[in-house]
């Protein structure tokens, strides 16, 4: 046999072996699950049960695991994870560091990290402060620059775009979003997965797929036709592609609407019909969030918080009123919010527990809602800053919309 023929046969054998090795290569066929924005919802327990049944390699949580960071909420979330039968990876959300910026990291470690699974590189990018620092960009680029031809998945809390037209609900600085997308393109990242916006969306910029998955149980931001449904995602990775399917979930049953009021002289439990028998006020208002968007606009009807507080022994100027939502979120108010003087009354109006909006009830998801009713119909971030006592409200988090607390189940007077 001629030398050239032997060489050709050798090349063919090597190529065949390489093809067989590629076809039968170990560990290139696996699944992983993704969920975002569970925020203490009981729906997370359903997701854990379903994920345990599917048995993926691991679960990624896109942040906002809890509504606000307290020992109780972080502890409850950690206890739920004990029932998960697969490993998990978490990137923190803004709610996970709200109220206490260290509890999440103490429990789960840092938010900037990466790991490899079956040749796929996964990178968690901490965007819990709704921004990305210069040092984070440098770290991310160093990881991507050394990634070679590996497939790459970046997961973070805040998306680099907003699928809801005409709204801003992502990074505080839009330049950060553009810079992140440019870096994803330069290093040919396959998929970027984010939460934060409570819906599902799938789009593409250049060669990178972008997915928003914020439907793990928190209150939805859109109708079903625009992706507003509860869900989690199941990804399947093989040698050629990374595909996913949306696993839609039925929303949890609406609980009974009951308001507990606690104070110096004891506590009272009021049902919705009982609240409606009390003195009612109506007023129009809308609320500004940290990004300047206006939300929650409409005509509210409810009971003055002052009247509710008077049922349990009143307040003094040194006391704090805590409004607690069903999911563990809370806002704290001072005496002057409940009993405003003339200047505060001009900015915030009367503080009420609302049970109606635009002539309809709030019990279809929002429950009792703490609202302000200023004369001009707007509660801006500046109004909020001027009507927040030290350590409360906009003195710690510049968002008038955050004071508009929904699904409130308890008002508690804390003695000063």
pLDDT band for 15, please (50, 70, 90 cuts): very low
DSSP E strands in 293-359: the ranges are 294-304, 320-325, 330-334, 350-357
Using the predicted structure, report yes or no on whether residue 370 has a pLDDT greater than 70.
Answer: yes
Question: pLDDT tens, 165-188?
Answer: 766 677 878 789 999 999 999 999
> If we measure between CA atoms, which residue out of 130, 407, 136, 178 comes closest to residue 292?
130
- Same domain, residue pair 330 and 212: no
Question: pLDDT tens, 44-77?
Answer: 999 999 999 999 999 999 999 988 888 888 999 9
> If we measure between CA atoms, which residue out of 321, 329, 367, 392 comes closest to residue 76?
329
In total, how many domains does the chain have? 2
In this structure, is residue 185 part of a structural domain? yes
In this structure, is residue 146 part of a structural domain? yes
In this structure, is residue 3 part of a structural domain? no
Q: Alpha-carbon distance 118 to 49, whole Å?
A: 25
- Same domain, residue pair 275 and 403: yes
- Same domain, residue pair 157 and 276: no
Report the chain's terminal Cα–Cα distance, integer Å.
98
- Same domain, residue pair 282 and 173: no
Tokens standing for 332? Answer: 């704290």
- Same domain, residue pair 288 and 348: yes
- Among 7-11, 45-49, 253-257, 328-332, name the most confident range: 45-49
Residues found in the chain: 416
In this structure, is residue 291 part of a structural domain? yes
- Same domain, residue pair 320 and 409: yes
- Same domain, residue pair 192 and 113: yes
Q: Span 3-14, mean pLDDT?
A: 46
Q: If you search the block for the tokens 């037209």, which residue do you land on?
A: 165
In this structure, is residue 209 part of a structural domain? yes
> If we measure between CA atoms, which residue out of 365, 59, 92 comes closest to residue 217?
365
Here the CATH number for the domain that contains residue 275 is 3.90.420.10
Which range among 2-11, 28-37, 130-139, 263-272 shows the weakest confidence by mean pLDDT?
2-11
- Same domain, residue pair 219 and 270: no
Using the predicted structure, report yes or no on whether residue 7 has a pLDDT greater than 80.
Answer: no
Using the predicted structure, report yes or no on whether residue 369 has a pLDDT greater than 80.
Answer: yes
Decide: residue 267, CB within 10 A, 0-12 exposed, 13-18 middle, 19+ buried: middle
Question: pLDDT tens, 133-150?
Answer: 999 999 999 999 999 999
Q: Alpha-carbon distance 64 to 82, whole Å?
A: 18
Query: How far is C-alpha 185 from the chain's CA centre?
Result: 26
Using the predicted structure, report yes or no on whether residue 327 has a pLDDT greater than 70.
Answer: yes
- Same domain, residue pair 30 and 175: yes
In this structure, is residue 217 part of a structural domain? yes
Here the CATH number for the domain that contains residue 34 is 3.60.21.10
Range of the domain at 410: 258-414
- Same domain, residue pair 62 and 162: yes
Q: Alpha-carbon distance 60 to 96, whole Å?
A: 15
Please report, rounded to a whole number, the percentage of residues in the chain having pLDDT higher than 70. 90
Which residues, in sequence order, are CB contacts of 369 under 8 Å at separation 6+? 300, 302, 353, 354, 355, 357, 362, 404, 405, 406, 407, 408
Q: Alpha-carbon distance 397 to 125, whole Å?
A: 22
Q: Alpha-carbon distance 213 to 200, whole Å?
A: 5
> If we measure between CA atoms, which residue out of 85, 16, 80 comes closest to residue 54?
85
């Amino acid at each position: 046999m001629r030398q050239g023929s032997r060489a050709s046969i050798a090349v063919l054998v090597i190529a065949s072996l390489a093809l067989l090795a590629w076809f039968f290569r170990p560990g290139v066929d696996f699944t992983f699950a993704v969920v975002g924005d569970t925020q203490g919802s009981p729906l997370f327990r359903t997701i854990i049960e379903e994920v345990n049944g599917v048995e993926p390699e691991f679960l990624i949580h896109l942040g906002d695991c809890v509504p606000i960071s307290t020992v109780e909420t972080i502890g409850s979330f950690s206890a739920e994870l004990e029932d998960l039968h697969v490993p998990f990876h978490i990137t923190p959300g803004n709610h996970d560091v709200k109220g206490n910026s260290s509890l999440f990291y103490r429990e789960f470690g840092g938010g900037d990290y990466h790991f490899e699974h079956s040749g796929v590189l996964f990178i968690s990018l901490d965007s819990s402060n709704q921004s990305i620092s210069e040092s984070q960009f440098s770290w991310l680029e160093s990881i991507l620059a050394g990634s070679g031809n590996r497939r790459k998945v970046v997961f973070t809390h805040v998306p680099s775009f907003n699928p809801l037209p005409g709204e801003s609900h992502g990074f505080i600085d839009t330049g950060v979003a553009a810079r992140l997308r440019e870096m994803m393109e330069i290093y040919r990242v396959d998929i970027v997965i984010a939460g934060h916006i409570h819906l599902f969306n799938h789009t593409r910029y250049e060669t990178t797929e972008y997915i928003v998955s914020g439907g793990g149980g928190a209150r939805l931001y859109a109708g079903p036709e625009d992706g507003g449904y509860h869900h989690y995602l199941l990804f399947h990775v093989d040698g050629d592609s990374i595909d996913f399917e949306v696993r839609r979930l039925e929303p949890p049953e609406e609980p009974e609407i009951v308001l507990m009021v606690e104070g110096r002289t004891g506590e009272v439990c009021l049902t919705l019909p009982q609240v409606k028998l009390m003195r009612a006020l109506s007023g129009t208002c809308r609320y500004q969030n940290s990004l300047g968007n206006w939300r929650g606009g409409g005509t509210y009807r409810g009971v003055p918080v002052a009247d509710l507080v008077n049922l349990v022994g009143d307040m003094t100027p040194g006391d704090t009123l805590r409004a607690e939502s069903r999911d563990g979120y809370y806002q704290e108010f001072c005496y002057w919010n409940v009993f405003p003087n003339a200047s505060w009354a001009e900015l915030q109006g009367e503080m009420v527990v609302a049970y109606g909006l635009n002539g309809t009830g709030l019990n279809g998801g929002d429950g009792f809602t703490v609202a302000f009713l200023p004369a001009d119909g707007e509660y801006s971030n500046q109004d909020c800053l001027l009507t927040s006592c030290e350590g409360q409200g906009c003195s710690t988090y510049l968002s008038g919309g955050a004071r508009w607390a929904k699904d409130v189940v308890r008002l508690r007077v804390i003695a000063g």
